[in-house]
Amino acid sequence: MRKILFALVFVAACSFSAHAQFGKIKVDKVASAVSKGVKSFTLTDAELKGYADQSTKWEDEHNHLCKTTDEYENTKAYAARLENIVANIPADLVKEYNLDIKAYHVTDVNAFARPNGSIRIFTPLMDLMTDEQILGVIGHEIGHVVNKDSKDAYVAALRMSALKEAAGAVGGDKVQALTDSQLGDLTEALGNAQFSQKQENGADDYGYEFLKKCGKDPSSMAGALGVLLKLQEEAGSPENSKFNKLFSSHPDLKKRIERLNKK
């Protein structure tokens, strides 16, 4: 019963599977607009990290964050497994990007990265993939951080939510403390981000090279996408499936797999 409750809280608060309020955020277009000199909304890296830290804390509090100290054996097992997978990542990379990689025990099949280095893997995704494939997914998400896609998505979410007046209003590198309602709105906008094909290809390439750096088989990156493709095919039409958000945020899986296999 508690598991169901956590899942319902997640779906109600974050709505990763369906987002009607904000519409789709095309991250690459927003980034282009910002680069062309939109002066009404700018944030320093320190301010961005401050807001990302707030929203990450909010998300962790509103989802079942798996810990090795959990009283439930299944969530303890997820946490322990992920710790073993993360142990393969070079320490200098973890330090450089302030990586904080944990698992959410929720109902959706997905993963995401925030610009502050926080990466969250959903346990249903872990159920479907091998350890090396999960490591590939983590590498893909790190790629979004390294390539600043996650930063662009975060700026887009702030602009699309009702927070653009609040964000940056304090001045300097200080950030305004956001209310629970504001953080909920921001999380919903973040869950609605949709990366472009170019951004996804870049993250795939990073994940491929990342697996090699970790001493693992780089073909596991294509294998991870293959798991998603199989899920898509089994679900039928993406537009009518409960995995619609997952598939729309991972465009053209077949072409992405073909690109990686050519490597």
Catalytic residues: 141
Q: Closest by alpha carbon to 71, among 122, 119, 121, 105?
A: 105
Cα(235)–Cα(244) distance, integer angstroms: 9
Task: Identify the burial level of 119 via C-beta atoms within 10 angstroms of its C-beta, where 0-12 means exposed, 13-18 middle and 19 or more buried.
Answer: buried
Report the relative pairing of strands 118-122 and 111-113 from DSSP bridges.
antiparallel
Please state, in angstroms and as integers, the Cα–Cα distance from residue 182 to each residue in 109, 157, 165, 260, following that order: 25, 12, 12, 39
Structure tokens at 218: 């780089």
Angle in degrees, CA 114, 2, 122, rounded to 5: 30
